[in-house]
Chain A
């Protein structure tokens, strides 16, 4: 029962993905408005699910990988819906909604049971600040990567002189580059303050700001990657395809830091094992 909103939201996201795909495969079936409608309903339901989890949790529901992934997917869909007014491309939706679905399905393979009692260090106001900032930054990077993917697709179509339906459905190169141009400073800012807030949180509970925990190390690597991207873009004027490729690489790093590090390398960011609980005890 406690996951009912979440489950229904996943169903709506999957229906949205299906509707987008149907439209892309069968042009005569105009299912894009259905797809967008499903995405909006899914977004609202997932919002309810997060509120529900918060009530159930008694605090911000960010303590398990299940919740973190759900929150991340929710951000991505939210940003997509915001951008939808500006960039109404069904191909955009056809990438975002399956991605959100996969993130949520992947999240649901983890246990959503909250460890009782909740470790005291997670009962800090730093938790929502740090995690929200970090996940919002990740969501912006995700959309930049999707924009980059669409840029590369569209660029190949135009350069290859394949002027067909997909060329028409994809936004203009300028619009797609704009996602990168506007997303990069926003995402970089969020990542930076996300890392700083984490350091401050660590400082407030453990007395030291930085401990070279694997997640911290990889965050720093990611931070440097995006710092380099900002540099290339601002100083050298890199744009278009190069910026798009960098956005994809950057997002690969983000996903590794977000998911891979906890799973493979452990550390105090990990959700189980010698993670939070062990560290705090």
Chain B
């Protein structure tokens, strides 16, 4: 019988943030907690994943229901809280469902922001910690390698992580599409509100030049400029600032339009028509909407950016459907492997492989053996058969004995690799291992 793969955990969709904050597996940096779970009788291998949006324990156990209760009790003990406080928020997945879940998590299909790239690193980190304390064995090693492989396939074959899904990212992406390389460009901030600061921080990270802050109250401009390591200018010099800037973010609380198209037309001549990207996040608007019609002026307000985000999220959802089929395919492959991870099919596979070798070699020497009499041929058949039987005898006896041993999965895995019974896999295996180390 093969051991069961089990996932229990909670995430952003099953548990409110208060509960998620309680279950964080503190002190697992060296994998100590993972090790602790392993001390549970019946738990063969274990990995803990803990990110701000999810906490999960992935383990392998023979007796699913009993082990499950013990692991939940352990989690409660580790965090010093009663199991009832989080029990209702837990999801439990076993066998195929668990594999599917792990692959989806690694491929960022289960993330709050669909397709976000950080989760893969976090999963790899969890695996690394568990592997460092020898908490993983043949099943979880294989499972994780396949999970990383699946994630790579999803990234390469679908567009799940392609389009920007936050206003700040959309703005940076647009700035790059308009202005090309941003490092030598300059950012202007009009208004010193919190919103402007948030937007500017993202762009400021992309440019080398100091951010220029313009505000009606010069003191506030100075304060914000200090924070962003930029420089402050008085409101009167806004036109000069617009001539210099490549990206301008406006967010003043002004009731009337601050920048009119006529201003911008003049500014554009002074800029010698260098393109300018204006991001208007103020309400009411700071920039006259008609300014977008001026050659070289690209004006986006916060609603425009938001609309792009919504559209991109929709696009990611579409791509996620394709990603799910990639995941399903990989889950199928993995399940096939777990089925083969049993002594009977392994023994059969060894016998078949040896017999195939015997027949191929005989066929190859057919020409040289042509002069033999039927009796001699018979003898050769006998000899070769008995050779392969002798070779197979010890490994098969070992596998039969190992059936009742706790480490049988490891033995089965090693035997399969020794005889390369999962032949086609030997190549991707090496690639996967590399992908983990990265």
- Complex CA gap A175/B179 in Å reads 8
Query: Taking A238-B273, A239-B273 as contacts, is the C-beta distance between A173 and B178 under 8 angstroms?
Result: yes
Q: Which residues in chain B, 261-275, are within 8 Å of chain A measured between CB atoms?
A: 272-275
- Complex CA gap A163/B315 in Å reads 11
Least Cβ distance of B273 to chain A in Å? 5
- Complex CA gap A172/B181 in Å reads 9
Q: Is B163 an interface residue (CB 8 A)?
A: yes
Instruction: Report yes or no: A163 in contact with B170, Cβ–Cβ below 8 A.
Output: yes
Least Cβ distance of B121 to chain A in Å? 24
- Complex CA gap A114/B293 in Å reads 54
Q: Is A28 an interface residue (CB 8 A)?
A: yes
How many residues of A are in contact with the other chain, CB < 8 A? 22
Contacts of A158 in B (CB 8 A): 174, 177-178, 298
Instruction: Report yes or no: A172 in contact with B272, Cβ–Cβ below 8 A.
Output: no
Instruction: Report yes or no: B273 in contact with A173, Cβ–Cβ below 8 A.
Output: no
Instruction: Report yes or no: A173 in contact with B177, Cβ–Cβ below 8 A.
Output: yes
- Complex CA gap A130/B217 in Å reads 66
Q: Is B308 an interface residue (CB 8 A)?
A: yes
How many residues of B are in contact with the other chain, CB < 8 A? 28
Contacts of A168 in B (CB 8 A): 162-163
Q: Is B307 an interface residue (CB 8 A)?
A: yes
- Complex CA gap A238/B272 in Å reads 7
Least Cβ distance of B6 to chain A in Å? 35
- Complex CA gap A182/B151 in Å reads 42
Q: When the two chains form the complex, which single residue of A163, A175, A238 contacts B308, counting CB atoms closer than 8 Å?
A: A163
Minimal Cβ-Cβ distance residue in A for B175: A172
Instruction: Report yes or no: B180 in contact with A174, Cβ–Cβ below 8 A.
Output: yes
Least Cβ distance of A62 to chain B in Å? 38
Render A193-210 as a binary contact track against B, CB cut-off 8 A, 1 for contact: 000000000000000000
- Complex CA gap A27/B319 in Å reads 11
Q: Is B322 an interface residue (CB 8 A)?
A: yes
Contacts of B422 in A (CB 8 A): none
Q: When the two chains form the complex, which single residue of B170, B180, B272, B300 contacts A175, counting CB atoms closer than 8 Å?
A: B180
Query: Taking A158-B174, A164-B311, A242-B295 as contacts, is the C-beta distance between A174 and B179 under 8 angstroms?
Result: yes
Instruction: Report yes or no: B275 in contact with A173, Cβ–Cβ below 8 A.
Output: yes
Q: Is B296 an interface residue (CB 8 A)?
A: yes
Q: Is B429 an interface residue (CB 8 A)?
A: no
Contacts of A237 in B (CB 8 A): 272-273
Contacts of A241 in B (CB 8 A): 295-296
Q: Is B381 an interface residue (CB 8 A)?
A: no
Instruction: Report yes or no: B295 in contact with A167, Cβ–Cβ below 8 A.
Output: no
Minimal Cβ-Cβ distance residue in A for B272: A237
Instruction: Report yes or no: B178 in contact with A174, Cβ–Cβ below 8 A.
Output: yes
Q: Which residues in chain B, 175-203, are within 8 Å of chain A measured between CB atoms?
A: 176-181
Contacts of A236 in B (CB 8 A): 272
Instruction: Report yes or no: B295 in contact with A163, Cβ–Cβ below 8 A.
Output: no
Instruction: Report yes or no: A163 in contact with B311, Cβ–Cβ below 8 A.
Output: yes
Render A155-194 as a binary contact track against B, CB cut-off 8 A, 1 for contact: 0001101011001100011110010000000000000000
- Complex CA gap A242/B275 in Å reads 12
Q: Is B41 an interface residue (CB 8 A)?
A: no
Q: Which residues in chain A, 22-65, are within 8 Å of chain B measured between CB atoms?
A: 27-28
Render B299-330 as a binary contact track against A, CB cut-off 8 A, 1 for contact: 01000100110011001000000100000000
- Complex CA gap A239/B296 in Å reads 9
Q: Is A240 an interface residue (CB 8 A)?
A: yes
Q: Is B159 an interface residue (CB 8 A)?
A: yes
Contacts of A172 in B (CB 8 A): 176-180
Q: Is B292 an interface residue (CB 8 A)?
A: yes
Contacts of B159 in A (CB 8 A): 27
Q: Is A262 an interface residue (CB 8 A)?
A: no
Q: Is A154 an interface residue (CB 8 A)?
A: yes
Contacts of B162 in A (CB 8 A): 168
- Complex CA gap A173/B175 in Å reads 10
Render B262-294 as a binary contact track against A, CB cut-off 8 A, 1 for contact: 000000000011110000000000000000110
Least Cβ distance of B380 to chain A in Å? 52
Render A216-253 as a binary contact track against B, CB cut-off 8 A, 1 for contact: 00000000000000000000111111100000000000
Minimal Cβ-Cβ distance residue in B for A163: B308
- Complex CA gap A158/B178 in Å reads 8
Instruction: Report yes or no: B322 in contact with A154, Cβ–Cβ below 8 A.
Output: no
Question: Residue among A28, A174, A237, A240 with the most chain B CB within 10 A?
Answer: A174
- Complex CA gap A28/B312 in Å reads 17
Instruction: Report yes or no: B273 in contact with A163, Cβ–Cβ below 8 A.
Output: no
Least Cβ distance of A112 to chain B in Å? 44
Least Cβ distance of A8 to chain B in Å? 33
- Complex CA gap A238/B307 in Å reads 32
Pairs across A and B, CB under 8 Å, 22 listed: A27-B159, A28-B322, A154-B177, A158-B178, A159-B292, A159-B293, A161-B300, A161-B307, A161-B308, A163-B308, A163-B311, A164-B315, A168-B162, A172-B176, A173-B179, A174-B181, A236-B272, A237-B272, A239-B296, A240-B273, A240-B295, A240-B296
A interface list, Cβ under 8 A from B: 27-28, 154, 158-159, 161, 163-164, 167-168, 172-175, 178, 236-242
